[in-house]
Chain A
Amino acid sequence: MGKDPSIKKVLILGSGPIVIGQACEFDYSGTQACKALMKEGLEVILVNSNPATIMTDPEIATRVYIEPLKLPFIEKIIEKERPDSLIPTLGGQTALNISLQLHKAGILDKYNVRMLGTSSEIIERAEDREKFKKILGEVGARAPKSYMVRAFEEGVAKSSDLGFPIILRPNYTLGGSGGGIAYSLEEFQAMLLYGLNESPTSEVLIEQSILGWKEFELEVMRDKTGTFVIVCSIENLDPCGIHTGDSITVAPQQTLTDKQYQDMRDEARKIVEKIGIETGGANVQFAVHPETGERVVIEMNPRVSRSSALASKATGFPIAKIAALVAIGYRLDEIKNDITKSTPCSYEPALDYVVTKIPRFAFEKFIGAKDVLNTQMKSVGEVMAIGRTFKESFMKAIHSLERGGTGLREVKYSDQKIAYPNGERIFYLAQAFREGKTLQEVYDLSHIDFWFLEQIYDLVQMEDQIRTSDLTETLLRSAKRNGFSDVQIANLRGTEETSVRLLRKKLNVRPSFLQVDTCAGEFQSETPYFYSTYWSVPETRPSSNIVAVIGSGPNRIGQGIEFDYGCVRGVRAFQKEGFRVAMINSNPETVSTDYDTSNELYFEPLTHEYVLEVLDRIQPKGFCPQWGGQTSIGLSEGLIKEGYKILGSSMDTIDLAEDRGRFTQICRELQLRVPLSKMATTLESAYGVANEIGYPVLCRPNYVIGGLRMEVVESDEDLEGYFKRNAAFISEKSPIQIDEFLDSALEVDVDLVCGKNWSIVGGVVEHIEAAGVHSGDSMGVIPPQRLRDETCEKIESVSKALAEKMNVLGHINLQLAVKDDEIYVLEANPRSSRSVPFVAKATAIPIVDLAVKAMLGNAPDKVYNWKSAKKVSVKGVVFPFNKFPEADSILGPEMKSTGETMGRGDDYAEALQKAFVASNVRLPMSGEVFLSLRDKDKKPMLKMAKELIQMGYTLSATRGTAQFLGDHDLPCVIVRKVYEGRPHTVDRIRTGKVSFVINTTSGRKAILDSFDIRRSCIDYSIPCVTESDTAEALLIAIRKARTEKFSVEAL
């Protein structure tokens, strides 16, 4: 049969910016699919608004469009490109929704584009809960009892029929956004209101609770002849009640009998057939009653899903690639298994290992957000680990979280922490056993299957043995087979990691590296995809001419997909230079952990011990830490001490950047200004420091990533508050750093590459928000729009000088501030940065490739000038506030965004407009603007207020701002502050009277007072800007949007 010859040009839609519930796993799937289709000789047109992705690299598709994933933009691309087909199932819910819209708007028909693998009817049957329920009934499957509710009163009436607790699921939302579990009528009413509003169709499914049931997922694949395979079964350790993205999951499933499993498999097959999925991947979620075995279907995704990436990594079956190939007409048996190279893809992978996924949370980033898990996804990243047994893989996964490598660390026990799911629950489970709780007691609290509890119980028993018995070879081997890290063993025995390591070496207790082969050893396989285990005999396998690239581990706020971009490009660049590359990483969502990316893939925790074992095995020519962010940089010193060569900037350069004293010294030598900075350990000394520097000051604990606990402090009173809130992090040993805060300064990011005697500036990104907003959270633009040319040139020259002085080899990212034409150096990171992919795409300079040339001592292939880019590119940002109902959306020095977008335009306005639209900010064309401005912004914002009126908006404000505007003859409605009684500001926002809000605040108290304003905007999806610069940018974008003129252009 083979591929359908009528398919020549395929449109693929990505999933846009990284948000909670839809992260870089779709970069992985999209990239894989594009590569496969390109190999088939098809023309591939890719659209995605996310510049941090690998898929938007020009070489991944025939033409890449970094444009908003919104109807008018996609229509224009279709009009221009005239693809004959569209694969809508690879870009998550975003791509699926847009594809539906394209169909409904008649655009697909108009341009003769056909959907491959699915149809709008199929998508609706799977996504519309009522239709889906009907189908379940037709195949003899069951859904939990439920009602689709379209009005508040209706919901309240139906709730009595279901009994509490009740689960709420708003229709058509991402990652369960707006959903949750209500235990009482009161709670139910509040959640229903919120959910109705979150759902684009104002529908909420209210559902019988299956809390405590066991939860499973099947990843399935089908071709057009009906060949059906289960790629992977996944079991959730956490029973129902927690979003599966937030659950600890295990593959393959562990606790179902063959009969139960086959019943589930049959049901999945029937559902997929009945829904009508012609080809491709899908995912079906089930719940099973722990005692009766009764089974219900929770939901089904008719597309490549979050779990597909995990399933692909867990089994070696590349779901997205195969989905793309079956979509263009291939049968599964016509496609060869990449891993064995001898068997066909019409098979079900057999695993001879266990895979554990653990989510990583970021509650600490959102002051006020509670660590409570429910059906709304909250995790920002995940790790995966492979071991021969559950215990080995589970423990390796815990180490992979990069929370200190101490495994099941001790915590202060409480029953609540087991009974109410939270991000730390596994640690409390272990603690419960340490404190003598029985399996039954823990089961009664948690409803986690006995089998899993037994495993954790065993691990706690093992702790005891390690603590009290002689560390014989047998015991040491046993500990390692149970996944205990050297650090953990050392802690239990009161010794050092190194001495455990030396003992292991002496006793030859070393890991072996087994292959992920898709077939449990039944066939010879060729693909070098490895995991370490202590269950087999170690063998060394030095590879010739190989270098190791260390990845960035689980996504977290501040370290995400942007770093994986560097890793993947870096691997390719090394390969181009004639090297073989070993990739080491623990993140299943990424392109870097595709077995196709590197020459050898090691799926391992990124801790000293595990990385070192890989290096010991492959004996690389060197390792490169420049693309893995702080994770890999942090590992460098230890690896160098073990005799491995660092590629690129030396340890001394890294140290120079991190040691404030040395760094300031160098800056002084170059006559560069550095903000004044001093340490303090007590409040008294801090008063002194702060007053010496002068308020406002920037406070932070000494060692931080992503600006954790960093705050702008404006007064002695504020400072006292800061000390109180952060008491746990301030001590004699860990002082806080107090920096001069450059109020209203313009910030820039500079990414450059330095070789032995050359350096190239990749680009200067001008931040749109002034200093004080974390660079990851500010919008940015290339080329700069406000910097004077000579300042920009000066920035380039001082950056080069500084990099040279630091002896940088490879990447360096500088954060600078410009105030009154004076340049301040805020930070230097001698590694790849968050801005590298954006800069590379904005300027078309292959920064990563150049960095590899630099590391290898080679010269650049040609001259590059970032200023020759013709387009203006704006980086937009996306925040997860809608997932954290208690969190504040105000921006500050602490990073909170999860993802970024890129708007490309012929001018600044067009680029801005696209960046906002791509970041899901609605641009309100008319209506009322509510203003709440801090004093220092009032005067500068007058001009804007006037403009708003000229553009036809009306203004409203609270008394102070309104009076000020009135004094300047600007008509403004006065609205009550919340404490002034109702109807107040928040009521006005909630009733839909306000189109957008400009709310600038500073000072702890003012921020607290205005919290409700920002929160209600988030809840009702009303744009709310908290910086005057952003407001200006928004206005420019709106003005542009009103012209309804825009262009689309491939990279």
Chain B
Amino acid sequence: MNKGFLVLENGAFFEGEWLGGKGRAGEVVFNTSHTGYEEMATDPSYFSQIIVAAAPMQGNYGVDAAVWESSKIHIHGFIALEIQNTARENTWIKTLQKHEVPILHRVDTRKLVLKLRSAGTPWGALVQAESAEEAQVLAAKLIAKNKEVELDWAYLVSRKAVEYRDGDNSSGPRIAILDFGCKENIIRETVKRASKVGIFPSRTSSREIREFEPHGVILANGPGDPKEVKVAVGTIKELLGWKPIFGICMGHQLLSLALGGDTYKLRFGHRGTNHPVDDKLVGQIYMTSQNHGYAVDAKSLPPDVEVTHINLYDNTVAGIQCKAKKCFSVQYHPENCPGPREATILFDYFFKSLT
């Protein structure tokens, strides 16, 4: 058995069994969803994060490239209590190994989750080592190095060139998606309803978007601190009131900033598929898929912006609307994958507003 360690920034460590990959640092976050490990790992919003699966049994159902939410694995590590590890051909472990993602299992994940819950989500590193001391030294280096990378994470994961796709609905609207780390299912849901879809890099100017002549703009999800995202807030400001805008996750945070609001870091974020949201736009409470570390401060919002969605777990802002400027946004993931699908109704809501 190979020993491996998760070492946190403050030196605290958790021992487990190393299943492969290369030592790496990232923000250590936990997710309570029971299914969807493959969707999560390929979701660009998890860029530079080490995921701790609170659900103990992972990898059970193997892998399927059809469910990938982007073209690569973005996580910097995967930790679970037990990962399916037998002689089967297509396993989650083998997939992660192929992409050199560090994997640690047989870790006391319950204790780790409780720690993250109470002390916040720190930096940490996954390393293979014989002893905790050795691990601490290796981890410190990795963490320091990781801190030097560009802070505009959205830019790091975003497309660098515009991509156009034909929609399935020839009489439907044209939609511009601003890609801050866009999940594939946002594109799939859009393609279903649109005639033409343009997916634009995160630092696109408003002029380029206007030139595409969209009927509406979707601001996609993405990783990191919204305040570190360059160009986008300016672009969004210039688009406000021009065409309807629908923001998702990072898109929601950037829209809020553009409207004059403020964001802050949550202690341990919301990551899971069971978060209840009171959606006042459609008049329904439903379960949502969530993955975010930052939130919009309700008090910071200007008077013409109303809070239309509330996270019922902690009453934080889960969505806003500004009728005057024809835009609304949600903190969670109406495109799900993984997670419950009730909120896909918001795509319908958005497309209806375009006609």
**Chains A and B come from one and the same complex:** yes
Check A257–B61 contact: CB distance below 8 A.
yes
Binds B, one of A12-20, A204-212, A225-233, A949-957: A225-233
- Chain A positions within 8 Å of B33 at CB level: 258, 350
Asked if B114 lies at the interface with its beta carbon under 8 angstroms from chain A, I say yes
- Given A257-B61, A389-B82, A227-B285 contact (CB < 8 Å): yes
**Cα A333 to Cα B313 with chains together (Å):** 10
Among residues 41 to 74 in chain B, which have CB atoms less than 8 Å away from a CB atom of chain A? 54-57, 60-61, 64, 67
Check A537–B274 contact: CB distance below 8 A.
no
**Cα A350 to Cα B312 with chains together (Å):** 16
Asked if A353 lies at the interface with its beta carbon under 8 angstroms from chain B, I say yes
- Given A348-B274, A520-B113, A258-B35 contact (CB < 8 Å): yes
Question: A227 touches which one: B30, B36, B84, B284 (CB < 8 A)?
Answer: B284
Among residues 464 to 523 in chain A, which have CB atoms less than 8 Å away from a CB atom of chain B? 514, 519-523
Asked if B179 lies at the interface with its beta carbon under 8 angstroms from chain A, I say no
Check A520–B32 contact: CB distance below 8 A.
yes
Least CB distance, B169 to chain A, in whole angstroms: 20
Instruction: Give the dominant DSSP class at A's interface.
Output: loop
- Given A266-B341, A348-B274, A535-B81, A454-B86 contact (CB < 8 Å): yes
- Given A257-B35, A257-B61, A350-B276 contact (CB < 8 Å): no
Check B84–A257 contact: CB distance below 8 A.
no
Least CB distance, A992 to chain B, in whole angstroms: 54
Check A262–B338 contact: CB distance below 8 A.
yes
Asked if B184 lies at the interface with its beta carbon under 8 angstroms from chain A, I say no
**Cα A346 to Cα B285 with chains together (Å):** 8
Contact with A along B270-310 (1 / 0, CB 8 A): 00111110100000111100000000000000000000000
**Cα A363 to Cα B120 with chains together (Å):** 55
Check B336–A352 contact: CB distance below 8 A.
no
Least CB distance, B271 to chain A, in whole angstroms: 9
- Chain B positions within 8 Å of A343 at CB level: 312-313
- Chain A positions within 8 Å of B113 at CB level: 352, 520-522
- Chain B positions within 8 Å of A520 at CB level: 32, 54-55, 113, 272
**Cα A450 to Cα B344 with chains together (Å):** 34
- Chain A positions within 8 Å of B284 at CB level: 225-227
Question: A333 touches which one: B60, B276, B342 (CB < 8 A)?
Answer: B276
Asked if A824 lies at the interface with its beta carbon under 8 angstroms from chain B, I say no
**Cα A457 to Cα B85 with chains together (Å):** 12
Least CB distance, B53 to chain A, in whole angstroms: 9
Check B57–A390 contact: CB distance below 8 A.
yes
Asked if A1020 lies at the interface with its beta carbon under 8 angstroms from chain B, I say no
Least CB distance, B87 to chain A, in whole angstroms: 8
Contact with A along B306-341 (1 / 0, CB 8 A): 000000110000000000000000000000111111
Least CB distance, A271 to chain B, in whole angstroms: 15
Asked if B108 lies at the interface with its beta carbon under 8 angstroms from chain A, I say yes
Asked if B352 lies at the interface with its beta carbon under 8 angstroms from chain A, I say no
- Chain A positions within 8 Å of B340 at CB level: 262, 265, 348
Asked if A349 lies at the interface with its beta carbon under 8 angstroms from chain B, I say yes
Check B110–A522 contact: CB distance below 8 A.
no
**Which residue of chain A lies nearest to B108 when distances are taken between CB atoms in the complex?**
A536
**Which residue of chain B lies nearest to A345 when distances are taken between CB atoms in the complex?**
B276
- Chain A positions within 8 Å of B55 at CB level: 252, 350-352, 520
Check A350–B285 contact: CB distance below 8 A.
no
Check A227–B286 contact: CB distance below 8 A.
yes
Asked if A943 lies at the interface with its beta carbon under 8 angstroms from chain B, I say no
Question: B34 touches which one: A351, A521, A535 (CB < 8 A)?
Answer: A351
Question: A252 touches which one: B34, B275, B341 (CB < 8 A)?
Answer: B34
Least CB distance, B344 to chain A, in whole angstroms: 10
Question: B32 touches which one: A225, A519, A535 (CB < 8 A)?
Answer: A519
Check A350–B32 contact: CB distance below 8 A.
yes
Least CB distance, A906 to chain B, in whole angstroms: 53
Least CB distance, A388 to chain B, in whole angstroms: 5
Asked if B210 lies at the interface with its beta carbon under 8 angstroms from chain A, I say no
Asked if B98 lies at the interface with its beta carbon under 8 angstroms from chain A, I say no
Asked if A611 lies at the interface with its beta carbon under 8 angstroms from chain B, I say no
- Chain B positions within 8 Å of A536 at CB level: 108, 110-111
Asked if B109 lies at the interface with its beta carbon under 8 angstroms from chain A, I say yes
Among residues 348 to 375 in chain A, which have CB atoms less than 8 Å away from a CB atom of chain B? 348-354
**Cα A926 to Cα B287 with chains together (Å):** 60
- Chain A positions within 8 Å of B273 at CB level: 348
Given contacts A258-B339, A522-B32, 7 further A-B contacts (CB under 8 A): A257-B64, A331-B285, A344-B276, A390-B57, A454-B86, A519-B274, A522-B272
The 7 closest A-B pairs by CB, nearest first: A258-B36, A258-B338, A258-B35, A348-B274, A521-B113, A520-B54, A350-B32
